[in-house]
């Protein structure tokens, strides 16, 4: 049972529904659409007002108004359809619940618009047939449920979707395409000037073509005027080969300390061959003497030097020269921190540093990445001993990362995408976004670092997962796997094989565990479960590390031919977006190639040493010298925290700067190297504290990390006393491990005799580690994650434009509530002094914005504001006063605001958005822009002036439509000027009455959309298990209870109980298709039917199958369930009792087809994790294909699904509530009531099929019908139909029936025979009947032949498709009769009917069009057919 929801606000959801019984529905217009809208609303019990002048009344609307036709009369008999013979007037809208505006001649588009706007003003949902942008909703015609009408609303999003599509198209055009085209245009013009002859047209074109084929779009786009001139010269000189445009190169040479003998051949050559050398003035003359090309000594003052040098260098680079930058200073150059190099990077020159340090020094220098390729020079260069020249030779392609806003999961995926040919994605959790970015990149056709297409396959996680990755790697492909860590356990067999085959597959796993409340937290438990597979396992702790460690893993895997598992925090890091240096695809190929070639020299060393060598060789490019174990903190620490992955990143914040404490970050988990571990520990260590997220507190045994660490001390050479080893395990369900938690655990372990094992408690929201003073933090609360989603990247842009170098953004969402709440945490360091931002959730921010005021009712968001911070509230109402807010804000919020001396800013951004855009769907964008502007204006640490400029510049760059640009600008400026700011008055501190509110919600990650599903899924549990004696009461005390018995009181339509009198198979027993004729005695049920109507049959389930299910599920079949249902007609509550057995046989569709919602509803009941994950996957967006495949191949029923997931065992009431009732199936009635006044006949074919695994299946209702013996009762209803005979008995009737499509035509023929018998003159009847074989499927053959002989059936055309070699179908027969049919239809007012399967519809339509086109043009014939449809003279009933 679905709950009847009356929607007042159509913008609240995509699905809207109205209970419109008894309400006014206005229909403006008189065409057939108006007619169908009127019928539709009347069927739902609405009071319908149709407004249209008489002249516009269509035939169909007339028949609705007269109530004369069968279907309308019966379906609208309880309702009123009033007609007003005039044009629309605005008063018509008064009191209307819904408005339909149709598109006929009486409604001009101006009028439609006027009605649309008026309706909006009055808050009446409107549907305008011809103007989707004015429509609040569209109907899903199949979702009617009596008084409940369900529609789909675009919320005005139609145009936005179109705009999105456009954007997508534009985005898929390669970057720089515009500039490249401009260059080509320039070239074409220049060629024309140089060679204007007409005769050279072809040659010029060929030349331009060749140019465009020769260079990439990017290179073409970068061509300068002089390069274009060079091309023209080449054209003139008739040269066959096109000139190669020379690429400039930038090298950096840096002097350092050392000896002259250290000068390398590379350095020597670089200096002597360079075309331009730019040198610091402090560089000694000896170096400068080596220069043969141009030499420029740049001034000593830093700023001027830098500017002059950059200008000169860029000019030379554009000329394709090799440029050397010669600098004094240390030999360690980090590209990402080198301002000068960054200046080149930003200008697109992509120079990076590959130092050619003297061979000996290169080993030690972290940036010495190409030591193998550099030899010590033999040249007797005489240079003073104290002046050594470490040389960096930059290449054209940079290896350094460029700052990019990216999530941890995408950072790892980017590396995998760039370095391999295919990725296999195993998303386990519902709504996992693992596959999203790689799939998008692949769809865009982005190539990998080797210039190949990268294939992304998203797969189901089941036992044997990753075997496909194994196969692909075996076949020689470079393979990555992206997975949620829960998938790893399913991959174990494949992982063993991959490792045994020495295949360098890299798995990037989001390490996570889901707790019982659907919270997702980081956990390495699944990673450790792969310990013995032979995979090396290496972890990363934040977004930058996810990128870097991914690179390390791929290089190490390639060199060692060992598969690697790279794991990152699957909760925070996976979803956090940070600005991190990301090496772009092409450069990554280059970097990796170098690193592989260097590491190959030492590939025979043990794997841990090899990984460390790889880390060393990549240090320059990654900007950090990674180690297997990295120690930070006090050199003489007595307490050392040991942690891995994200826990290590968080622990670092707590440990740094604390006396006596250090942190050892574990990166390489497998193979475990005790030697490397011990080497990093300070000798002073007395206590080792493990933070082990691989084990849940309370679980038996030691965690893997504990065993590794302990064995390191006992089994290896540790000559000092073994320190005390303590271990903190995560409390089950811990959501956010923070630095504060580490600090408190350090306090715990500092006591004299701490416990060896302790629980790491969930952090207290109020205890926090203060952010550094130059780090700013903001939190934005909103009710719809989507709204904030589009704020986040723009906020980052805004902050970057201010110079903020480190920016981090993280959205947490709560799925606990029905409306998802999100809070977006933005953290940034403006001056770049803090490069590593905290990984903890922000506890108190400088700026907190509540974008949806409703949230203040449930949460004290003020608790997350720092003292002196600012709270922005977006609330309805202009110019609020303090008194207004005093009234509105909850006491708890006011108290906190006063205590913390917070400034409060108030704006009505929704109203501003409303005022600036008429399109409801765009309002969110306008609102967010306004709110973003306020973040720029009001947040500490942001330069308001710059922020506004950036937003305005952003608008002018992105908005091509001037009106949109101006209105957005208006909304932004209005928000900035209308915001009211004041200090929280101290009286608020005395707001004592109100209770405290929770400060925060439990965030859940990765499952954000769960709540949406739950919302849709709200199922009313109507059934209650009751004591067995309860239903006996009404029977015993009949006078006190109005007792009645009904088979399907839930049906919601009038039902009748009829009795089977005949059930006869028409096809031979040996024939594969079972077509049968079934007759029911109407008795005194009151059932009446018209010609062409269909019978709704309420089928029942097989009692034996039900009994089997009851036994298996452990139910009590005799358990009584009570339903309390309101009788809509009388308003009285009626109570219904049934046993569980009865329900499952008669009502509940237990053997029907379960949809996604059923899988969703089982998740909460599944107690086995793997079942829960699988259910979650199938119910998720990612799992949609897998679910569809399962349904198509195995066609499981609800009962089957329960057997597939035995741990999901909802109690009977819940089960009943999550399975819909059996729906009636419709069958065209094959009898005329005039001929058979007491019976109703059907012609039915048994629906059967086999599942892929070979199980035979039968359709629910046909299985029931075919098994019914005479005497059995059946519950039925009558469904009106469009299959009506023409009003005149003399009009020709042309019938085309395939298989059981014959049914209504038997009724037609019977009816005409009856009329004839009455002495009425009847017109010709033509029947086309199609089936496979005459001998088996000539349904009602004898009757037909008799009618034919009697000349009632004037033309009998049979098409038995398989009785002859050539296939013959009814459309062939129709074609052959084209002249006759045209005559009957066009001249004699005949009607054409088609019934049966859908597939012949197009052919039959074509046959008729071609018949008509003998008398008119094809276009007119098509129109004619449409007109006939409208007149109900071309009628299709296909199923």
Ligand X SMILES: Cc1cc2nc3c(=O)[nH]c(=O)nc-3n(C[C@H](O)[C@H](O)[C@H](O)COP(=O)(O)OP(=O)(O)OC[C@H]3O[C@@H](n4cnc5c(N)ncnc54)[C@H](O)[C@@H]3O)c2cc1C
Choose the stretch contacting ligand X; rule: CB under 6 A; options: 210-218, 255-263, 743-751, 1192-1200: 1192-1200
Q: Are strands 513-514 and 479-484 parallel, antiparallel or unpaired?
A: unpaired
Per rule CB under 6 A, is residue 802 in the interface with ligand X?
Answer: no
Q: Applying CB under 6 A, which of residues 42, 220, 1094, 1352 lies at the interface with ligand X?
A: 1094
586: tokens are 């092409």
Q: Applying CB under 6 A, which of residues 359, 1261, 1307, 1435 lies at the interface with ligand X?
A: 1261
Q: Which residue is nearest to ligand X (CB)?
A: 1259
Four-residue CA torsion sign, 1175, 1176, 1180, 1182: negative
Beta-carbon contacts of 900 under 8 Å, excluding residues fewer than 6 positions away, are 862, 865, 866, 867, 868, 869, 984
Q: Applying CB under 6 A, which of residues 255, 334, 1300, 1371 lies at the interface with ligand X?
A: 1300
Ordered DSSP codes for 714-783? HHS---SPPPEEEEEEEPTT-----HHHHHHHHHHHTSSS--SEEEEPPPPTT--PPPPTTEEEEEEEES
Closest to ligand X by CB, 7 vs 1277, is: 1277
3-class secondary structure for 843-871?
Answer: CCEEEEEECCCCHHHHCCHHHHEEEEEEE
- Residue 569: which of 535, 536, 533, 545 has the closest Cα? 545
Q: Are strands 506-511 and 520-521 parallel, antiparallel or unpaired?
A: unpaired
Closest to ligand X by CB, 781 vs 1113, is: 1113
Choose the stretch contacting ligand X; rule: CB under 6 A; options: 563-571, 581-589, 1241-1249, 1354-1362: 1241-1249
Q: At closest approach, how far in Å is the CB of 1221 from ligand X?
A: 14
Per rule CB under 6 A, is residue 1439 in the interface with ligand X?
Answer: yes
Q: Is 1385 helix (H, G, I), strand (E, B) or coil?
A: helix
Name the one residue in this structure whose structure tokens are 């009816």: 1311
Number of residues that bind ligand X (CB under 6 A): 23
Name the one residue in this structure whose structure tokens are 């050398």: 277
Q: At closest approach, how far in Å is the CB of 1268 from ligand X?
A: 13
Per rule CB under 6 A, is residue 1186 in the interface with ligand X?
Answer: no
Q: Applying CB under 6 A, which of residues 472, 873, 1244, 1408 lies at the interface with ligand X?
A: 1244
Per rule CB under 6 A, is residue 1266 in the interface with ligand X?
Answer: no
Per rule CB under 6 A, is residue 1178 in the interface with ligand X?
Answer: no
Four-residue CA torsion sign, 1287, 1290, 1291, 1294: positive
635: tokens are 């050199």
Name the one residue in this structure whose structure tokens are 């999100």: 822
Q: At closest approach, how far in Å is the CB of 838 from ligand X?
A: 51
986: tokens are 């101290």
State the alpha helices, DSSP H only, in 299-349.
302-318, 339-346
Q: Applying CB under 6 A, which of residues 404, 822, 1262, 1371 lies at the interface with ligand X?
A: 1262
Q: Applying CB under 6 A, which of residues 1260, 1277, 1371, 1382 lies at the interface with ligand X?
A: 1260
State the alpha helices, DSSP H only, in 994-1142.
1010-1016, 1032-1036, 1103-1113, 1140-1142
**CB-neighbour burial class of residue 1021 (10 A; exposed 0-12, middle 13-18, buried 19+):** exposed
State the alpha helices, DSSP H only, in 833-938.
855-858, 882-888, 891-899, 909-916, 923-938
Per rule CB under 6 A, is residue 1437 in the interface with ligand X?
Answer: yes
First to last CA, the chain: 26
Per rule CB under 6 A, is residue 128 in the interface with ligand X?
Answer: no
Per rule CB under 6 A, is residue 158 in the interface with ligand X?
Answer: no
- CB contact at 8 A, 1370 and 1357: yes
Q: Applying CB under 6 A, which of residues 1226, 1241, 1312, 1424 lies at the interface with ligand X?
A: 1226
d(C-alpha 1247, C-alpha 556), whole Å: 58
For residues 987 to 1026, the per-residue mask of contacts with ligand X, x marking binding by CB under 6 A and - elsewhere, is ----------------------------------------
Choose the stretch contacting ligand X; rule: CB under 6 A; options: 7-15, 196-204, 602-610, 1223-1231: 1223-1231
Q: Applying CB under 6 A, which of residues 365, 506, 648, 1303 lies at the interface with ligand X?
A: 1303
Choose the stretch contacting ligand X; rule: CB under 6 A; options: 345-353, 917-925, 1023-1031, 1193-1201: 1193-1201
Q: At closest approach, how far in Å is the CB of 1232 from ligand X?
A: 15
Choose the stretch contacting ligand X; rule: CB under 6 A; options: 62-70, 132-140, 941-949, 1225-1233: 1225-1233
Q: Applying CB under 6 A, which of residues 605, 1247, 1380, 1436 lies at the interface with ligand X?
A: 1247
Per rule CB under 6 A, is residue 41 in the interface with ligand X?
Answer: no
Q: At closest approach, how far in Å is the CB of 1294 from ligand X?
A: 19
Phi and psi of 1054, rounded to 5°? -70, 125
Q: Applying CB under 6 A, which of residues 79, 419, 559, 1243 lies at the interface with ligand X?
A: 1243
Sheet with 1293-1298, strands from edge to edge, namely 1355-1360, 1325-1331, 1293-1298, 1391-1396, 1434-1438
Task: Tell me the β-bridge partners of 520.
Answer: 514
Closest to ligand X by CB, 377 vs 1260, is: 1260
Choose the stretch contacting ligand X; rule: CB under 6 A; options: 463-471, 628-636, 1026-1034, 1257-1265: 1257-1265
Per rule CB under 6 A, is residue 456 in the interface with ligand X?
Answer: no
Q: Applying CB under 6 A, which of residues 327, 1225, 1312, 1424 lies at the interface with ligand X?
A: 1225
Q: At closest approach, how far in Å is the CB of 1401 from ligand X?
A: 14
Q: At closest approach, how far in Å is the CB of 531 from ligand X?
A: 41
Closest to ligand X by CB, 13 vs 1102, is: 1102
Q: Is 531 left (phi over 0), alpha (psi -120 to 50) or beta?
A: alpha
Q: Applying CB under 6 A, which of residues 1245, 1278, 1326, 1352 lies at the interface with ligand X?
A: 1245
Choose the stretch contacting ligand X; rule: CB under 6 A; options: 1032-1040, 1065-1073, 1194-1202, 1285-1293: 1194-1202
| H/E segment holding residue 529 | none
Closest to ligand X by CB, 615 vs 1327, is: 1327
Q: At closest approach, how far in Å is the CB of 1230 from ligand X?
A: 7
- Residue 341: which of 156, 57, 329 has the closest Cα? 329
Per rule CB under 6 A, is residue 71 in the interface with ligand X?
Answer: no
Closest to ligand X by CB, 320 vs 1196, is: 1196
Q: At closest approach, how far in Å is the CB of 1409 from ligand X?
A: 25
Closest to ligand X by CB, 605 vs 1436, is: 1436
Cα angle at 904 between 903 and 909, to 5 degrees? 145
For residues 1136 to 1175, the per-residue mask of contacts with ligand X, x marking binding by CB under 6 A and - elsewhere, is -----------------x----------------------
| CA 174 vs CA 168, 170, 447: distances in Å | 12, 9, 12
Q: At closest approach, how far in Å is the CB of 1249 from ligand X?
A: 6
**Length of the chain, in residues:** 1439
Q: At closest approach, how far in Å is the CB of 1189 from ligand X?
A: 11
| Residues within the interface to ligand X (CB under 6 A) | 1094, 1153, 1191, 1195-1197, 1225-1228, 1243-1245, 1247, 1249, 1259-1262, 1300, 1303, 1437, 1439
């Amino acid at each position: 049972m679905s709950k009847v929801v009356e929607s007042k606000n159509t913008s609240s959801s995509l699905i809207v529904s109205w209970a419109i019984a008894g309400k006014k529905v206005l229909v403006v217009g008189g065409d057939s659409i108006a007619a169908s809208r009127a019928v539709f609303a009347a069927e739902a019990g609405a009071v319908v007002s149709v407004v249209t002048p008489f002249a516009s009344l269509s035939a169909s609307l007339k028949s609705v108004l007269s109530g004369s036709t069968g279907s309308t009369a019966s379906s609208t008999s309880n309702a009123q359809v009033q007609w007003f013979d005039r044009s629309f007037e605005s008063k018509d809208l008064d009191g209307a619940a819904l408005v339909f505006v149709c598109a006929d001649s009486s409604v001009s588009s101006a009028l439609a618009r006027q009605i649309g706007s008026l309706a909006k003003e009055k808050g009446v949902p409107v549907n305008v047939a011809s103007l989707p942008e004015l429509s609040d909703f569209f109907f899903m015609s199949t979702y009617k449920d009596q008084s409940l009408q369900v529609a789909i609303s675009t919320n005005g999003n139609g145009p936005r979707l179109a705009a999105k599509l456009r954007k997508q198209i534009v985005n898929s055009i390669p970057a720089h395409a515009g500039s490249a085209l401009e260059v080509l245009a320039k070239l074409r013009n220049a060629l024309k000037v140089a060679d204007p002859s007409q005769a050279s047209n072809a040659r010029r074109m060929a030349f331009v073509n060749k140019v465009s084929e020769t260079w990439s779009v990017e290179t073409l786009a970068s061509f300068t005027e002089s390069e274009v001139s060079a091309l023209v010269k080449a054209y003139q000189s008739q040269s066959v080969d096109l000139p190669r445009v020379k690429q400039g190169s930038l090298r950096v040479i840096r002097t350092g300390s050392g000896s002259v003998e250290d000068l390398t051949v590379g350095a020597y050559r670089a200096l002597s061959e360079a075309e331009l050398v730019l040198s610091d003035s402090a560089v000694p003359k000896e170096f400068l003497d080596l220069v043969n090309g141009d030499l420029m000594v740049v001034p000593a003052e830093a700023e001027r030097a830098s500017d002059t040098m950059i200008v000169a260098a860029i000019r030379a680079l554009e000329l394709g020269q090799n440029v050397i930058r010669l600098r004094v200073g240390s030999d360690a150059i980090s590209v990402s921190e080198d301002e000068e190099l960054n200046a080149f990077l930003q200008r697109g020159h992509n120079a990076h540093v590959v130092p050619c340090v003297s061979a000996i020094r290169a080993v030690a220098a972290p940036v010495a990445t190409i030591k193998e390729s550099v030899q010590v020079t033999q040249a007797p260069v005489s240079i003073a001993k104290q002046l050594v020249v470490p040389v960096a030779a930059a290449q054209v392609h940079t290896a350094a990362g460029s700052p990019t806003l990216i999530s941890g999961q995408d950072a790892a995926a980017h590396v995998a995408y760039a370095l391999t040919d295919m990725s296999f994605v195993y998303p386990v959790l519902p709504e996992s976004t693992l596959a999203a970015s790689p799939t998008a990149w692949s769809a865009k056709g982005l190539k990998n670092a080797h210039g190949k297409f990268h294939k992304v396959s998203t797969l189901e996680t089941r036992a044997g997962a990753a075997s496909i990755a194994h196969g692909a790697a075996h076949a020689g492909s470079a393979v990555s796997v992206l997975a949620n860590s829960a998938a790893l356990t399913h991959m174990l067999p494949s992982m063993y094989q991959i490792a045994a085959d020495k295949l360098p597959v890299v798995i990037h796993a989001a390490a996570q565990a889901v707790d019982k409340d659907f919270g997702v937290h980081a956990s390495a438990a699944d990673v450790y479960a792969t310990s013995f597979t032979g995979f090396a396992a290496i972890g990363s702790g934040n977004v930058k590390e996810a990128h870097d460690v991914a690179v390390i893993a791929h290089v190490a895997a390639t060199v060692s031919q060992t598969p690697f598992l790279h794991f990152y925090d699957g909760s925070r890091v996976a979803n956090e977006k940070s600005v991190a240096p990301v090496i772009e695809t092409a450069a990554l190929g280059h970097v990796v190639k170098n690193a592989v070639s260097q590491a190959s020299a030492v590939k025979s060393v043990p794997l841990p040493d090899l990984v460390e060598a790889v880390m060393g060789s990549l240090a320059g490019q990654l900007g950090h010298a990674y180690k297997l174990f990295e120690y930070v903190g006090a050199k003489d620490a007595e307490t050392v925290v040991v942690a891995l992955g994200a826990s290590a990143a968080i622990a670092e914040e707590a440990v740094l700067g604390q006396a006596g404490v250090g942190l050892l970050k574990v990166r390489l988990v497998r193979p475990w190297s005790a030697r490397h571990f011990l080497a990093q520990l300070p000798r002073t260590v007395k206590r080792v504290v493990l933070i082990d997220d691989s084990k849940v507190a309370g679980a038996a045994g030691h965690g893997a990390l504990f065993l590794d660490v302990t064995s390191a001390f006992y089994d290896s050479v540790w000559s000092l006393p073994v320190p005390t080893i303590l271990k903190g395990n995560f409390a089950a369900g811990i959501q956010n491990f923070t630095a504060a938690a580490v600090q408190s655990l350090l306090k715990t372990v500092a006591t004299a005799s701490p416990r060896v094992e302790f629980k790491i408690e969930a952090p207290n929201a109020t205890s926090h580690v203060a952010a550094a003073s130059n780090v700013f933090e903001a939190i934005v609360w909103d009710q719809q994650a989507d709204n904030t989603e589009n704020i986040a990247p723009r906020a980052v842009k805004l902050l970057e434009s201010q110079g903020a170098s480190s920016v981090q953004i993280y959205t947490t969402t709560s799925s606990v509530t029905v409306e998802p709440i999100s809070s977006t945490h933005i953290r940034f360091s403006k001056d770049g002094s803090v490069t590593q931002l905290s990984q903890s959730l922000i506890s108190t921010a400088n700026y907190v914005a509540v974008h949806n005021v409703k949230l203040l009712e449930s949460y004290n968001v003020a608790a997350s504001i720092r003292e002196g911070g600012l709270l922005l509230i977006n609330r309805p109402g202009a110019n609020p006063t303090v008194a207004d807010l005093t009234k509105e804000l909850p006491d708890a919020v006011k108290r906190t605001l006063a205590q913390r001396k917070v400034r409060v800013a108030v704006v009505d951004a929704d109203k501003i958005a409303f005022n600036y855009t008429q399109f409801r769907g765009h309002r969110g964008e306008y609102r967010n822009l306004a709110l973003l502007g306020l973040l720029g204006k009001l947040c500490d640490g942001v330069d308001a002036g710059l922020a506004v400029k950036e937003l305005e510049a952003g608008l002018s760059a992105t908005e091509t439509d001037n009106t949109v640009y101006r209105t957005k600008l208006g909304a932004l400026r209005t928000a900035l000027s209308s915001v009211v700011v004041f200090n929280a008055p101290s009286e608020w501190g005395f707001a004592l009455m109100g209770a405290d509110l929770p400060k925060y919600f439990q965030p859940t990650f990765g499952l954000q959309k769960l709540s949406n599903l739950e919302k849709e899924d709200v199922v009313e549990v109507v059934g209650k298990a009751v004591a067995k004696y309860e239903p006996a009461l009404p029977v015993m005390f009949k006078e006190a209870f109005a007792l009645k018995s009904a088979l399907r009181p839930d049906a919601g339509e009038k039902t009748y109980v009829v009795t089977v009198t005949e059930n006869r198979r028409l096809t031979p027993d040996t024939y594969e298709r079972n077509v049968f004729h079934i007759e029911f005695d109407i008795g005194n049920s009151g059932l009446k039917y018209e010609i062409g109507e269909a019978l709704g049959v309420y089928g029942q389930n097989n009692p034996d199958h039900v009994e089997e299910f009851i036994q298996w599920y452990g139910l009590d079949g005799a358990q009584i369930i009570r339903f309390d249902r309101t009788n809509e007609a009388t308003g009285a509550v009626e109570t219904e009792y049934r046993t569980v057995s009865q329900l499952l046989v008669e009502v509940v569709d237990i053997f029907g087809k379960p949809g996604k919602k059923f899988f969703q509803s089982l998740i909460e009941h599944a107690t086995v994790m793997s079942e829960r994950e699988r259910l979650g996957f199938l119910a998720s967006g990612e799992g949609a294909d897998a679910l569809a495949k399962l349904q198509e191949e195995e066609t499981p029923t609800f009962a089957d699904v329960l057997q597939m997931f035995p741990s999901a065992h909802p109690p009977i009431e819940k089960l009943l509530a999550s399975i819909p009732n059996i729906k009636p199936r419709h069958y065209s009635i094959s009898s005329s009531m005039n001929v058979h006044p007491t019976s109703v006949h059907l012609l039915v074919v048994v629906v059967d099929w086999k599942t892929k695994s070979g199980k035979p299946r039968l359709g629910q209702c046909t299985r029931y019908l075919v098994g019914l013996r005479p005497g059995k009762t059946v519950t039925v209803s009558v469904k009106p139909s469009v299959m009506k005979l023409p009003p005149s008995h003399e009009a020709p009737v042309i019938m085309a029936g395939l298989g059981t499509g014959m049914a209504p035509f038997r009724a037609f023929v019977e009816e005409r025979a009856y009329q004839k018998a009455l002495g009425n003159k009847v017109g010709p009847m033509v029947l086309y009947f199609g089936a496979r074989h005459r001998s088996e499927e000539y349904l009602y053959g004898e009757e037909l032949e008799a009618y034919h002989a009697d000349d009632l059936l004037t033309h009998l055309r049979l098409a038995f498709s398989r009785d002859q070699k050539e296939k013959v179908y009814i459309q062939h027969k129709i074609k052959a009769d084209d002249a006759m049919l045209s005559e009957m239809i066009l001249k004699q007012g005949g009607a054409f009917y088609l019934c049966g399967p859908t597939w012949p519809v197009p052919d039959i339509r074509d046959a008729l069009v071609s018949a008509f086109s003998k008398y008119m043009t094809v276009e007119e014939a098509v129109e004619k057919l449409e007109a006939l449809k409208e007149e109900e003279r071309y009628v299709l009933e296909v199923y």
